[in-house]
């Protein structure tokens, strides 16, 4: 026993020198234990494990001491991060032991300093562990080591944990001691290679896994996309076996590597490497762009496209409005929980990464819902929208175009299909057309229209399309626009039929106009335009004379002139007549009355030409009146002169609704200058005698 211990000590001294140099490097490497390494480790005896162990770690320092209290060598060459003594091995592991037997491991503490240093075990024996201190005492020369011997006497086949605490002149540190009891071993392979897989399809590999260990296995299995594993946890009795299936469901072409983490309930993590290769298939749409016939709103036109393949796998397809694959987003949701769990097991220290992946997945679901909604609201649909194509089968799709508006539709939709990483685009172009209503004319020059005259025009609306055409007329809200009426104003013209609409016009205003009447057809983006133009004129009346010439008139003897007022227009006319320039005073007097009046002597002719005092010498009959359409009326103008001299006046016509002084006719007369009051007296007398 002692001889064996000595030989082992010698071996260890040599190995240590080598190992120390590599230590830093070894610490940096994160060694993942593969199933074969794990199995080998577990099957080793305590001695084999010791001789095989390569990892050297500085021990955990419990407390720093003041070196000056115990030594005059206050400065040490050893880094402050490390204790002065490096233990070997870093951890004491007993395994594959039998109850009631005693096992031992030598523990070396190497003085790394350039001066002699002290190291002392703080006695911590337990029922099962016992430590023998070196006989030479606790002072160790530089570069040499103190050798302790740790004895272990188990009572049961189970795990034991203990720790040894040492103190040097500068620190106290701890060395863990453990005894590994029976362990489960699942005989996984180090590497699982999955069959070649088309993108978005899946392949799987099943292994029969046996528990070749000495304990029941309670385990968890975890991996990440594009791999998945079933079962994800289980219990396996010693010697029993079960099937474990790894599935490979890649979304991108290329090679994929991932770890399958096997976590034993005893705390060990074993990593199995997964590998899968993924390829794209020669799958394409035929044709990849579709131009649909012009289609009436609410009707549909259909085109066919087909999906061709060169593969022998079943293809799953799904049509979407955008290039995002719903499958991917959904599976990413599913996977994210597994990922979180794995991250938790592996490194508890990075919570932000977990948070990020959660945010990411909720974002994609929102996008996805939006996309699906958009697709179902659309005027372009594909049937069937999703399904499966069996190997060597062709799938025909109907692209259905059901326009809701008269416009050009241009859209790209996508077929997400197994075997293609990016969804296959299908460009679609179609034109929606509205009801096709035509007018038999679209311009009307009404030329001259009499004021107040009702005009009527007929227009034909013809529906040449395949769908009914609801229409409505609209006139502009302007002076003349408001003069239009429609009969009927709105309606529906069935396909192939026509309808007559009466457009009425009647204006009480004069002037020329040019109005666009709109025929609004439901479903047509632009209304049809009907242009009406013309000029509203007053009645074009006239007299049968161009002037009213009384010639010479006798003073005080009324003279009447008769003429005719013609109204050749189709509207009646209300008029008033007056003499412009006639006096505004009392009516002139006739010679008869002057003679009768005794005032005659005093009467003098008017010389002052002031209008208000001057008598009104003209009377027009009728002064106001109405001429019916296409008729005439006699007008009597009477002049009873009380003034000596020439008359150059005018008969003016005011037309109701049209204007004042619409027409003027000159009036000429001459009152004899020789007719004096004396002469008038004579004449009057003469008149009485006859």
Interface residue list for ligand NAG (CB under 6 A): 42-43, 48, 52, 96, 185, 212-214, 293, 301, 307-312, 389, 391-395, 452, 544-545, 562-564, 572, 574, 626, 634, 656-657
Q: Which is nearer to ligand NAG, 480 or 575 (CB)?
A: 575
Q: Are 229 and 247 in contact (CB under 8 A)?
A: yes
Q: Which is nearer to ligand NAG, 328 or 431 (CB)?
A: 431
Backbone angles phi, psi at 362, to 5 degrees: -70, -30
Nearest distance from C-beta of residue 564 to ligand NAG, angstroms: 4
> Which 8-state DSSP code applies to residue 215?
S
Q: Which is nearer to ligand NAG, 206 or 549 (CB)?
A: 549
Q: Which is nearer to ligand NAG, 489 or 660 (CB)?
A: 660
Q: Which is nearer to ligand NAG, 593 or 636 (CB)?
A: 636
**Whole-angstrom distance, CA of residue 332 vs CA of residue 328:** 6
The single residue listed with the structure tokens 């720093």 is: 64
Backbone angles phi, psi at 165, to 5 degrees: -115, 125
Q: Are 318 and 384 in contact (CB under 8 A)?
A: no
> Which 8-state DSSP code applies to residue 263?
E
Backbone angles phi, psi at 461, to 5 degrees: -105, 120
Q: Kindly give the pairing relationship between strand 233-236 and strand 217-222.
A: antiparallel
**Whole-angstrom distance, CA of residue 105 vs CA of residue 120:** 18
Q: Are 594 and 560 in contact (CB under 8 A)?
A: no
Residue 9: CA count within 13 A, CB half-sphere: 19
Nearest distance from C-beta of residue 246 to ligand NAG, angstroms: 25
| DSSP of 96-131 | S--TT--EEEEEEEEE-SSS-EEEEEE----SSEEE
Closest CA to 38 of 217, 233, 270: 270
Q: Are 514 and 463 in contact (CB under 8 A)?
A: no
**Whole-angstrom distance, CA of residue 226 vs CA of residue 256:** 8
**Whole-angstrom distance, CA of residue 124 vs CA of residue 107:** 15
Q: Which is nearer to ligand NAG, 298 or 332 (CB)?
A: 298
The single residue listed with the structure tokens 């006719």 is: 665
């Amino acid at each position: 026993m002692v001889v064996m211990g000595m030989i082992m000590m010698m071996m260890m001294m040599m190995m240590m020198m080598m190992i120390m140099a590599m230590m830093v490097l070894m610490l940096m490497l994160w060694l993942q234990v593969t199933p074969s390494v794990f199995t080998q480790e577990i099957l080793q005896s305590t001695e084999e494990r010791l001789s095989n162990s390569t990892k050297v770690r500085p021990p955990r320092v419990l407390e720093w001491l003041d070196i000056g209290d115990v030594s005059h060598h206050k400065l040490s060459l050893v880094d402050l991060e490390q204790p002065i003594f490096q233990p070997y091995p870093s951890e004491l592991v007993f395994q594959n032991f039998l109850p009631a037997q005693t096992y031992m491991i030598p523990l070396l503490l190497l003085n790394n300093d350039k001066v002699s240093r002290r190291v002392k075990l703080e006695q911590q024996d337990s029922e099962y562990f016992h430590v023998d201190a070196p006989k030479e005492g606790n002072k160790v020369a530089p570069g040499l080591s103190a050798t302790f011997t740790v004895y272990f006497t188990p009572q049961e086949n189970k795990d034991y944990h203990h720790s040894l605490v040492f103190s040097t002149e500068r620190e106290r540190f701890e060395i863990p001691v453990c005894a590994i009891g029976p362990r489960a071993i699942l005989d996984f392979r180090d590497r699982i290679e999955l069959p070649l897989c088309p993108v978005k399809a899946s392949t799987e590999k099943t292994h029969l896994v046996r528990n070749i260990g000495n304990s029941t296995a309670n385990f968890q299995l975890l991996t990440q996309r594009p791999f998945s594993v079933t079962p994800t946890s289980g219990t396996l009795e010693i010697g029993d076996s079960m099937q474990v299936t790894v599935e490979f469901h890649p979304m991108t072409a290329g090679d994929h590597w991932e770890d399958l983490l096997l976590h034993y309930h005893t705390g060990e993590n074993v990593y199995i490497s997964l590998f899968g290769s993924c390829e794209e298939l020669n799958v394409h749409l035929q044709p990849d762009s579709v131009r649909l016939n012009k289609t009436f709103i609410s009707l549909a036109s259909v085109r066919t496209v087909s999906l061709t393949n060169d593969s022998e796998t079943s293809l799953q397809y799904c049509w979407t409005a955008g290039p995002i694959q719903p499958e991917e987003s959904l599976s990413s949701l599913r996977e994210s929980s597994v990922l979180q769990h794995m991250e938790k097991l592996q490194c508890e220290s990075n919570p932000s990464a977990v948070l990020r992946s959660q945010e990411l997945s909720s974002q994609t679901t929102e996008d996805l819902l939006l996309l699906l909604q958009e697709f179902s609201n659309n005027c372009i649909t594909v049937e069937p929208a999703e399904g499966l194509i069996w190997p060597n089968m062709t799938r025909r799709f109907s692209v259905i175009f059901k326009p809701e508006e008269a416009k050009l539709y241009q859209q790209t939709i996508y077929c997400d299909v197994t075997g293609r990483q990016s969804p296959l685009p299908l460009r679609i172009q179609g034109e929606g057309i509205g009801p096709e209503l035509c007018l038999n004319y679209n311009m009307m020059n009404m030329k001259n229209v009499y004021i107040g005259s009702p005009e009527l025009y007929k227009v034909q609306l013809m529906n040449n399309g395949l769908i009914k055409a609801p229409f409505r007329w609209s006139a502009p809200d302007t002076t003349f626009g408001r003069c239009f009426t429609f009969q009927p104003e709105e309606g529906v013209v069935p396909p192939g039929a026509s309808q007559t609409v009466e457009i009425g016009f009647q204006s009480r205003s004069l002037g020329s106009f040019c109005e666009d009447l709109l025929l609004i057809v439901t479903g047509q983006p632009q209304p049809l335009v009907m242009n009406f133009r013309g000029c509203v004129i007053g009645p074009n009346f006239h007299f049968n004379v161009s002037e009213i010439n009384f010639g010479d008139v006798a003073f005080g003897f009324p003279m009447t002139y008769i003429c005719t007022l013609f109204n050749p227009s189709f509207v009646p006319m209300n008029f008033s007549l007056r003499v412009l320039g006639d006096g505004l005073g009392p009516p002139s007097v006739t010679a008869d009355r002057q003679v009768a009046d005794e005032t005659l002597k005093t009467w003098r002719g008017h010389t002052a030409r002031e209008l208000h005092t001057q008598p009104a010498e003209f009377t027009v009959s009728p002064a106001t009146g109405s001429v019916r359409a296409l008729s005439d009326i006699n007008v009597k103008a009477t002049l009873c002169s009380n003034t000596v001299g020439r008359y150059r006046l005018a008969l003016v016509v005011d037309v109701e609704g049209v204007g004042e002084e619409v027409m003027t006719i000159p009036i000429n007369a001459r009152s004899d200058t020789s007719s004096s009051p004396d002469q008038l007296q004579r004449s009057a007398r003469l008149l009485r005698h006859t």
